[in-house]
Amino acid sequence: TEPIADFIIGEHLFLAMIKTLTHQEIISAFPSLFLFVIQLFGLLMIFVITRRFFAGYVHGDMVAIIALLFVGPLWAISGAGAKFVSGGVIGNVIGNLLIPAIFYFLFCAFTAKKALFLIPAITLVTTIAYTHHLSTFIFGYSFIGSFVAFIVLVGRGTEYKKLFALLKNVYILPLLCIALGCLFVLFPPSYLNMDTIATSVGAPTKSTRTGVGLHEMMYTLGQPRFIFGMIGALVLSGLLLIIRIRPHRYAKKYHDIVTPYGGIFLIGWSGAIIAMSLFPHLLKVNILSTRIVTYGAFPLAILAAFAVVFLGGVCIRRTDKKLRIPHMALTTILCISVLYFFTTGVRDNATSMSTSPNITDALQTFHVATYASIVFAKDAHDNTTQWMVKDHNYITADTWIKIFFADDYTQPLSRSYFNRYE
């Protein structure tokens, strides 16, 4: 008898706040421009976090620039970024900004051992929890993956004590209590109920949730980015293992290449998404696999950039700055690699972009939403015995409907799981 959303739709609240405070209509190009700006900030966040992760590496800035190239001009549309912006998929766009931002502040807190950096991290985790359930799910698994990577690749007893000491800060414990109280007691998100959890956690119930093939994942994320990303993950894992096994001999030599926390966050972040996409049944993930795999674009872009720079550095002797292989051979390899990156990236963008997009269905959705927001919104809001439901599976750009209402979570509810209505 109670209205329950199939998934949380709180990403419209920022735009609703603008409309409430200014009393101005925001139905124009503004929502799409807002998402586009968020998308750009997400790309810049990748540049910033890459610089921090590889701050001690002599070629760290080059890694950051190449990472920005891999998520910007090349494979810009891969991962459905442009489709998310134009289709009003606000949660995924905001999630692609908040997830790396959270890892950035966690990295600063763990590396500098300063608890104050945990304040924005906890705040952003709470924000993403109220904004988008899938992004929250992705971050949760990524954080668990990072914790596992920390145990396997770092795992020093003194480091555990230093990390737990951060939680004893006078500001952190109250903030954690407030965040947990809001999430689980005061105003729990709509997906924190047993019915919703049962539809997202457990054995996959649909063919679209049984995982994607390796070839499909490579096609979605871009073959060079995926291949070099895996190489980068293996190199980082190897370096961290060497440092752990022989710390006195190799810690000083390899610590400048990658910081331990930067490495474990990248490995845990990318590894969790790959595992959720390829083997959802093992992790009890019951979510659309093709949507999960798009989140792997950012961590794999960073790993791919590191792999390219690291492999290039291997070809040069550090002592006399001379090439280890013939100059002509290195030039040929570089030219072929650059040509391969650009051709596959541009081809991916060309196949993803439509020269004549069909906007008829979206316009119909907007007209219906305009009518419904005028005629039905007030009655549904005043009458607690009825509510509105929109279909998420078949309506084009249905997420934008909430922008027209600019109201709370239940205006309207989103229907996605048909078994609830049978």
Q: Domain ranges in the chain?
A: 49-317, 360-420
Residues 307, 102: Cα–Cα separation, whole Å: 24
CA dihedral in degrees (257, 260, 263, 267; nearest 10)? 150
Q: What's the pTM value of the predicted model, to 2 decimals?
A: 0.81
Q: Which residues of the chain have pLDDT under 50?
A: 1, 77-80
Q: Give the model's pLDDT for residue 326.
A: 66
Own/partner pairs, 307-312, CB within 8 angstroms, 24+ separation:
307/228, 307/229, 307/231, 307/232, 307/235, 308/66, 308/228, 308/337, 309/59, 309/62, 309/63, 309/66, 310/232, 310/235, 310/257, 311/231
Give Cα 270 distance to the centre of its chain. Answer: 10
Give Cα 208 distance to the centre of its chain. Answer: 20
pLDDT tens profile 192-243:
666 666 656 666 666 667 778 888 888 878 788 889 999 999 999 998 888 8
Q: Give the model's pLDDT for residue 294.
A: 84
- Identity of residue 113: K
CA dihedral in degrees (29, 32, 34, 40; nearest 10)? -130
225: its two tokens: 């980015």
Q: Give the model's pLDDT for residue 183.
A: 84
Rounded to 5 degrees, what are φ and ψ at 89? -80, 75
Q: Give the model's pLDDT for residue 78.
A: 45
Q: Give the model's pLDDT for residue 103.
A: 97
Buried b (16+ CB within 10 A) or exposed e, 246-283: eeeeeeeeeeebbbbbbbbbbbbbbbbbbbbbbebeee
CA angle 207, 208, 209 (to 5 degrees): 90
Determine contact, residues 128/99, Cβ cutoff 8 Å: yes
Report in angstroms the alpha-carbon separations of 324 from 63, 130, 238, 330, 373: 21, 53, 22, 9, 68
